Amino acid sequence: MHTALAALIFVVTLIVIVVRPRQINEAWAAAVGAVLMVATGVVSPSAAASSIGSEWNLFLFFLGLMLTAAVADMAGFFDWAAGLAAAAARGSGRRLLFNVFVLGAVITTFLSNDATAIILTPVVYTIATRLRLRVMPYLFAVSFMANAASMTLPISNPINVLTGDRLHAPLAAYEGHLLLASLASIAITTAVLMAFFWRSAAGRFEFDWRSAVQSAVGDRAFFMATVAGLGLLAVAYIVGSALLWPLGVVAIVGGAALAGLAGARRRLSREHLSTHISPPLFIYIAALFVLVRGVQDAGITPALVADAVSRASDAGSAVMAGLVGSAVASNLINNLPAVLVFISGADAGGVPAALHTPFLFGALAGADLGPNLTPVGALSTMLWLVIVRRRGVQVSAWDFLKIGALVAPLTLVAAAVLVAASFR
Amino acid sequence: MLVDGFDTEGLFGSLERMLRIRESELLLVFVRRTGPRRGLELAPRRPGGHELPPHRERELADAEITGGTQALAEAEQVASRMAARVESRQLDGDPGRVVCELAKAERADVVAVRGTGHDRPPVGPGSLGPIARFIVDHSPCPVLLLRDGG
């Protein structure tokens, strides 16, 4: 009875989260699902509290990330970086496209895919529009690179932090398994999109670097201090990853220090903070932990994962099982609940001990790269396609499908081969 | 004449070769499309809700207006050397629909538009872009399709 109830609440909640009827906020949908899990006795209140409390590292990481991104945005860092990419392109639309890939990869690596997708995307859109270039190539570049580069460091994707807490892998081990796969993913994504948009990006533009910097960087001293702070934070992340410090603590200390700097320069803006710090996101994440705890305690996630890994006999096949499973699941539901299901199942004994680590590395890679695999059916994207078609915009929607169908399988295959090879 | 901001000299050169516009009145139209803005939704949306910050919205709107204004200014500069009278307008919406409605309202004699779409072969099936195709299908007056290098 509990099993059926847990499954029902979980599935219905996920459907509401993905489909978003009446534009309902995902956080509230997830919260209702979590409350139902507790109210029906599937999850005890103490188990719910413990499943949320034990993930304090991830919550701190998100908060630190948001503060850091907010201050960097306030200082004009993203506008400056996009301007640098434009200046370095020397008037060539194609060179600018390549530079946007590089920029997206660097921002994702050190500030996470969140910062790239959410902050860099509109900045690049604005600059491409202002330069009278066709915007779609640059939009696609940022969107795809946000996922493609998100395996590079543990801090490049909050999913890595979540999985890393289970793996207890120091930085050297992490990079030993994932660095080559990440570089391959970045290279493949860049090559495919450059080829696809070769003609579209063939524009020329004039760009005034000096006036762009002046308008981007209002307070030069604040900007320089912020850049220095970001550099120190990047070093702290790398050292912290190497020494297995909780990255959430590093993130919150760094983010708070940057916010303090902004406050001291009287640059702290409520508008910026409120748009970058999203309380509903914390509710969403907390609710997901309770939801997954419910299906875990009902034995569903261990069974699901055991089924996924049943044919795996060695580390390489365990990597494949984790990668394929989480990539598919990430496109059906958001990649955060997908990877939570896989972690929960692995932790609850669904994966043999010898295969636990390769399985989780595979699941991490699939959850990071999988969201580019849109043709498999990310429902939110499908709904977007329907809306866009009604407005007569056909080309870009089909282009998105074509690109996703090409890029994602190539990067997933490369990652599967390289991560599996790293366990030999 | 639908202005798109690309290869303005080439476009008007083609127009001048096809029509006697020395004594004509040209209405240049730049349409800010909603399609690319919708492309912003390609960016993974953070669950829990995250709309574009107000300052980014302002920058985007400003960039769109600036881009359109510059495209029209460039087109006006070229067109004023060729036509008797030049007027320009910057509008929002679907370019095909806007141009057809404007042509009807202004009782235009001819609608001129670039025939080749982005990322399309220069000739052959599939060479006509969706905007040009819409205008060909719905224009209340004759349509002049201008090809690059034509």
Instruction: Write the pLDDT tens digit of every residue in A267-291.
Output: 887 777 877 787 888 898 899 999 9
Interface probe with A: pick from B46, B72, B128, most Cβ of A within 10 Å: B46
B118 to A134: CB separation less than 8 angstroms, yes or no: yes
For residue B23, give how far its alpha carbon lies from the nearest alpha carbon of chain A (Å).
31
Q: Give the burial class of A423: count Cβ atoms within 10 A of its Cβ; 0-12 exposed, 13-18 middle, 19 or more buried.
A: middle
For position B118, what pLDDT does the model report?
57
Test B50 with A395 for CB contact under 8 angstroms: no
Choose the mutation target among B119, B128, B135, B137 for the interface with A, i.e. most A CBs under 10 Å.
B119
| pLDDT number for residue A96 | 96
Average pLDDT for B32-60: 67
Whole-number Å distance between alpha carbons of A392 and A389:
5
Query: Could B49 and A25 be called an inter-chain contact, meaning their C-beta atoms sit closer than 8 Å?
Result: yes
**Joined tokens for residue A33:** 């699902």
Mean pLDDT for chain A overall = 86
Write the DSSP symbol of residue A119. I
Question: In terms of Cα–Cα distance, which of A304, A299, A413 is closest to A362?
Answer: A413
pLDDT of residue B19: 77
Mark yes or no for CB contact A203/B64 under 8 Å: no
Q: Please tell me which of the candidates B40, B46, B55 has its beta carbon nearest to residue A139.
A: B40
* A47 confidence band (pLDDT: 50, 70, 90): very high
Cα B97 from Cα B34, distance rounded (Å): 12
What pLDDT sits at residue A82? Answer: 93
pLDDT > 70 fraction of chain A, expressed in percent and rounded: 93
- How much is the pLDDT for A186? 97
Quick check: A253 pLDDT over 90? yes
pLDDT at A309 over 70: yes
Q: Does B50 touch chain A (CB under 8 A)?
A: yes
pTM (2 decimals)?
0.84
Chain B contact set for A393 (CB, 8 A): 34-35, 38
Tokens of B68: 């359109």
How far apart are the C-alpha atoms of A283 and A29, rounded to whole Å? 10
Q: Which chain B residues are Cβ-neighbours of A199 within 8 angstroms?
A: 118-119
With beta carbons less than 8 A apart as the criterion, state whether A284 and B48 touch.
yes
pLDDT of residue B108: 92
Contact B44 A147 (CB under 8 A): yes
**Do residues A145 and A104 lie in contact, with contact meaning Cβ atoms separated by under 8 Å?**
yes
Query: Measured between CA atoms, how close is B133 to chain A, in angstroms?
Result: 12
For the residues of chain B, what is the DSSP string, one character each?
-B--SSSHHHHHHHHHHHS--TT-EEEEEEEE-SHHHHGGGGSPPPTT--PPPHHHHHHHHHHHHHHHHHHHHHHHHHHTTT-SEEEEEEEES-HHHHHHHHHHHHT-S-EEEE-BPTTS-SSSTT-B-HHHHHHHHH-SS-EEEE-TT-
Q: Quote the minimal CA–CA distance from B8 to chain A in Å.
A: 12
For residue A202, what is the DSSP state?
-
Q: Does B30 touch chain A (CB under 8 A)?
A: no
Contact B6 A203 (CB under 8 A): yes
pLDDT for res A374: 54
Report which of residues A318 and B119 the model is more confident about.
A318
- Residue, of A396 and A62, whose pLDDT is higher: A62
Dist. CA A217–CA A74, nearest whole Å: 9
The reported pLDDT for the residue numbered B53 is 72
Q: Tokens for B84?
A: 């008797």
* A140/B42 touch (CB, cutoff 8 Å), yes or no: yes
CB A289 within 8 A of CB A340: yes
Q: Do A122 and B94 touch (CB under 8 A)?
A: no
B47/A130 CB distance under 8 A: no
> With bands split at pLDDT 50, 70 and 90, how would you rate the model's confidence at A49?
very high
Closest residue in chain A to residue B35, using alpha carbons only: A393
The SS3 assignment for A107 reads helix
- Closest-CA residue of A relative to B133 is A392
B36 contact residues in A (CB cutoff 8 A): 125, 129, 135-136, 139, 396
Question: Poorest-confidence range of A56-65, A341-350, B133-142?
Answer: A341-350
Work out the average pLDDT over A249-267.
92
Compute the mean pLDDT over every residue in chain B, rounded to the nearest whole number.
Answer: 80
- Local structure of A204: helix, strand or coil: strand
Taking 70 as the threshold, does the pLDDT of residue A399 lie above it? no
Average pLDDT, integer, range A144-151: 91
Q: What does the pLDDT read at residue A273?
A: 80
Nearest-CA distance from A424 to chain B in Å?
Answer: 35
| Probe site for chain B from A107, A121, A124, A340 (most B CB atoms < 10 A) | A121
* Predicted pLDDT at B149: 54
Within 8 A of B60 by CB-CB distance, chain A residues are 122, 125-126, 129
* Residue A146 confidence (pLDDT) above 70: yes
Would you call B43 and A142 a contact, using CB atoms and an 8 Å cutoff?
Answer: yes
CB pairs below 8 Å between A and B: how many?
Answer: 136
Do the chains contact at B42 and A394, CB–CB below 8 Å?
A: no
Question: Is A271 within 8 Å of B54 when comparing Cβ atoms?
Answer: yes
Please name the residue of chain B whose CA is at the shortest distance from the CA of residue A127.
Answer: B63
Distances (CA, A) of A226 to A82, A126, A359, B98: 16, 23, 39, 46
Q: Is 90 exceeded by the pLDDT of residue B40? A: no
Q: With bands split at pLDDT 50, 70 and 90, how would you rate the model's confidence at A387? A: very low
- Which of A133-137, A408-412, B17-21 has the lowest average pLDDT? B17-21
**Lowest mean pLDDT, pick from A112-121, B4-13, B24-33, B84-93:** B4-13
Which among A222, A258, A280, A245 is positioned nearest to A154, based on CA atoms?
A245
Q: Across the interface, which of B39, B51, B55 has its CB nearest the CB of A396? A: B39
Which of helix, strand or coil describes residue A423? coil
Cβ-in-10-Å burial (0-12, 13-18, 19+) of A186 comes to buried
CB A416 within 8 A of CB A359: no
Across the interface, which of B44, B48, B56 has its CB nearest the CB of A283? B48
Q: Is the dihedral of CA A75, A77, A78, A84 positive or negative?
A: positive
Q: What is the Cα gyration radius of chain A? A: 21
Distance from CA of B37 to the nearest CA of A (A): 9
Q: Kindly give the interhelix angle for A279-297 and A26-39, rounded to the nearest 10 degrees.
A: 40
Among the partner-chain residues A135, A384, A394, the one whose CB lies closest to the CB of B130 is: A394
List the domain boundaries for chain B.
Answer: 8-30+62-146
Q: What CATH number is given for B8-30+62-146 in this structure?
A: 3.40.50.620
Residue type, B72: L
Q: Do A395 and B130 touch (CB under 8 A)?
A: yes
